[in-house]
Structure 1
């Protein structure tokens, strides 16, 4: 009987303690906003993660470069984490981040992203291969929205993405030259569609196309052999073209695989594309 009373007392105390357990607010990224766009003609419902510079509120007459990044549900936080350190070191100007994602809860990002990030059908997803539609949405819906709602510099747009997002970044470079001024293609999935991008690039050049702007491409040293072989073929192709208006850099991130190489890639990519506009060209605050 005594043992049962003790057990009951402990249970009551446990329930009381549980009921009184404090709750804490979720962590929120500062200077950020979520903006949901109307469902477009293709039935896509986009949500934009907007990261504003620290000075945005105090310098109302200033316009900022914009870095657009695909897979915003993953990569927006990466760029936001990187930006502050680069700005502090004065190796990049302050810039707005726009992460492109989807509105809704409990979404299957893996399935959704194949619709728009690959220019050709990919895997077993019959709905994939709609990169042209996605790029049109960016040009006609997303960019106008950002440049209407925020103090974005229309002459300084950067497109970035990783994996399929990197493939989409390279596709955009050839499909809509001049829509962006700089590109960061992190571990791009060049092998999709049996190197489809290489044929697209060839048609671009044979048609008299010339690349302009700044392009940064990376791969991880320890990624799959077949995957990185496609990136190496693309790198060799771009280097052989010698586009006079293109500033190009390629880097292998040593010791890293497909995901682990992305933070360093974005860091170095942002430094490269913003190099001409870096506030501090010297050794920085701590030589």
Structure 2
């Protein structure tokens, strides 16, 4: 019994320490001064579902102002406090005509990600996204609502997986799910239970799932094991790709995003 408790404690410690490590390595100062597109920093939305005010940032590609009748694919990126600028820089470098909305975890140092990105909080967070945040963004900007992507890393990657297999996730809510070095070793039973229920429910969807793992001081071993298990479920309509990167946990989002852009826009 003591050994089992010690194992659980170590898994939790690894997940939390990985997130702290990610914060130190992934933080990047903003604003970006020169872009071909437009950036709107420091917007905010207060949710009546969670009761939290979430800061967020919006990037519009260069073609947005030139093509007034066009709707653009969109990436909703979690943990924007760490990844938003890097994602914008990658999009600019590849001239990707895609909107990026980066939503922060909540008030700085609030640790809301440990609530919103894990069970049971993920369901309230999905309700916030689908009933409040998405309608707010997509009423203000010209978004192709048939081409949404949800991205998350670490606990955010766990969130992305939980959302994908939620009974409240409509078949057309997302076209792509990007789960970068997700903390699948944390709350494993909750996640597997959700996936098993989804697999046996007859639910249908058409989603491309990209799973990536950080081979250096990351979750790669657990992620690849999870990917194999998930593929064995043969869930109709979900196309799974799993890739390992020779980076640490804090570098996984930047390493993964460029290739993810190619898959989204092809």
TM-score range relative to shorter protein: 0.7 to 0.9
Contact 2:181 2:211 (C-alpha < 8 Å) held by counterparts: yes
Give the equivalent residue in structure 2 for 1:259: 250
Worse-superposed segment, 77-86 or 201-210: 201-210
* SS in structure 1 of the partner of residue 165 of structure 2: helix
What is the deviation of 1:41? 4.1
What is the deviation of 1:27? 5.2
* SS in structure 1 of the partner of residue 112 of structure 2: helix
Give the equivalent residue in structure 2 for 1:42: 50
Measure the CA separation in 2 of the matches of 1:202 and 1:39: 30
What is the deviation of 1:46? 1.5
Worse-superposed segment, 150-159 or 198-207: 198-207
Q: TM-score normalised to the size of structure 2?
A: 0.80
Give the equivalent residue in structure 2 for 1:124: none
Residues 149 and 112 of structure 1: CA distance in aligned 2, closer, same or farther (over 3 Å): same
Q: Which has the larger radius of gyration?
A: 1
Worse-superposed segment, 147-156 or 260-269: 260-269
What is the deviation of 1:196? 2.4
Measure the CA separation in 2 of the matches of 1:28 and 1:189: 34
Matching of residue 86 in structure 1 with residue 94 in structure 2 = yes
What is the deviation of 1:251? 0.3
What is the deviation of 1:209? 3.1
Give CA-to-partner distance per residue, 1:218-254, whole Å, 9 cap, x none. Answer: 0011235xx4343123201222133342322110102
Give CA-to-partner distance per residue, 1:99-154, whole Å, 9 cap, x none. Answer: 012665xx205x122120112xxxxxxxxx41111110000111001110001111
Structure in which a larger fraction of residues adopt strand: 2
* SS in structure 2 of the partner of residue 192 of structure 1: coil
Q: Which runs of 5+ in 2 are unaligned?
A: 1-30
Give the equivalent residue in structure 2 for 1:221: 215
Q: Which runs of 5+ in 1 are unaligned?
A: 1-25, 88-92, 120-128, 276-287
Give the equivalent residue in structure 1 for 2:66: 58
* SS in structure 2 of the partner of residue 260 of structure 1: helix
> Which residue among 154, 166, 189 is the counterpart of 1:163?
154
What is the deviation of 1:202? 1.2
What is the deviation of 1:263? 0.8
Q: TM-score normalised to the size of structure 1?
A: 0.74
Contact 1:162 1:188 (C-alpha < 8 Å) held by counterparts: yes
* SS in structure 2 of the partner of residue 76 of structure 1: helix
Residues 77 and 229 of structure 1: CA distance in aligned 2, closer, same or farther (over 3 Å): same
Give the equivalent residue in structure 2 for 1:108: 109
How many pairs are equivalent?
231
Contact 1:66 1:95 (C-alpha < 8 Å) held by counterparts: yes
Contact 1:165 1:185 (C-alpha < 8 Å) held by counterparts: yes
Residues 245 and 82 of structure 1: CA distance in aligned 2, closer, same or farther (over 3 Å): same
Residues 241 and 193 of structure 1: CA distance in aligned 2, closer, same or farther (over 3 Å): closer
Measure the CA separation in 2 of the matches of 1:239 and 1:38: 38
Matching of residue 32 in structure 1 with residue 39 in structure 2 = yes
What is the deviation of 1:261? 2.5
Residues 234 and 102 of structure 1: CA distance in aligned 2, closer, same or farther (over 3 Å): closer
Measure the CA separation in 2 of the matches of 1:39 and 1:210: 29
